[in-house]
Amino acid sequence: MIEETEQDLEAVVTALLGILGRRGWHLGTAESLTGGMVGAAITAVPGASAVYVGGAISYTDHEKTALLGVPADLLQRRGAVSAEVAESMAKGCRELLRVEVAIATTGVAGPALDGRATPVGTVFVACAMPAECRVERLKLAGDRREIRIAATHAALELALRLVRET
């Protein structure tokens, strides 16, 4: 099953990189819950360096603000796991890396901690482009590893859909 998942992911990344390359566009990533998995999936594909600039792993609120310019008051008001923060991360990544397309991930992979307001499996993925930023809320099931893999897939698939529509 893991091999099939990896093949599916590689096909999504290959299609995304192909479209971006033909347009002369570049891609960056801003990751929280996936901790670099989106960037790893991209760089696993030969030729990614022609399109992929790099990414920021912003696991803490401080790094979301310091690296990506996510407003501290937004993090306080909405929480790190929110559509607004995912959007701000993606837009901040576009500015930081000077890319046309940026993917962002934030969420809760688990295990559940006592007192946590946001349920495990709550994930937001975002894709920012010059004229649009789209955010999707996901409710994912599984253990920590499965949630992070599914979030990686969802983020890359969102980017591919948005780039194809543009």
Angle between helices 144-165 and 2-23 (to 10 degrees): 30
% of the chain surpassing 90 pLDDT: 89
Decide: 143 and 99 in contact? Cβ < 8 Å. no
What is the structure's pLDDT at 15?
95
Is the full-model pTM beyond 0.85?
A: yes
- Phi-psi domain of 115 (left: phi exceeds 0; alpha: psi -120 through 50; beta: other): left
Report the Cα 166 to chain-centroid distance in Å.
Answer: 19
112-129 pLDDT, tens per residue? 666 667 899 999 999 999
130-159 pLDDT, tens per residue? 999 999 999 999 999 999 999 999 999 999
DSSP-derived 3-state class of residue 44: coil
- Domains of the chain and any CATH numbers: 2-165 (3.90.950.20)
Of 108, 96, 117, nearest to 28 (Cα)? 96
DSSP 8-state class, residue 119: P
Distance CA 106, CA 50 (A): 26
Which ranges in 24-143 belong to alpha helices (H)?
Answer: 37-43, 61-68, 72-78, 83-97
What is the structure's pLDDT at 138?
98
DSSP-derived 3-state class of residue 54: strand
Q: Average pLDDT of the chain? A: 94
Residue 29 has pLDDT above 80, yes or no: yes
What is the structure's pLDDT at 147?
97
DSSP-derived 3-state class of residue 42: helix
Residue 2 has pLDDT above 50, yes or no: no
74-108 pLDDT, tens per residue? 999 999 999 999 999 999 999 999 999 999 999 99
| Across 21-45, average pLDDT | 97
Q: How many CA atoms lie within 13 A of 93 on its CB side?
A: 33
Distance CA 127, CA 146 (A): 21
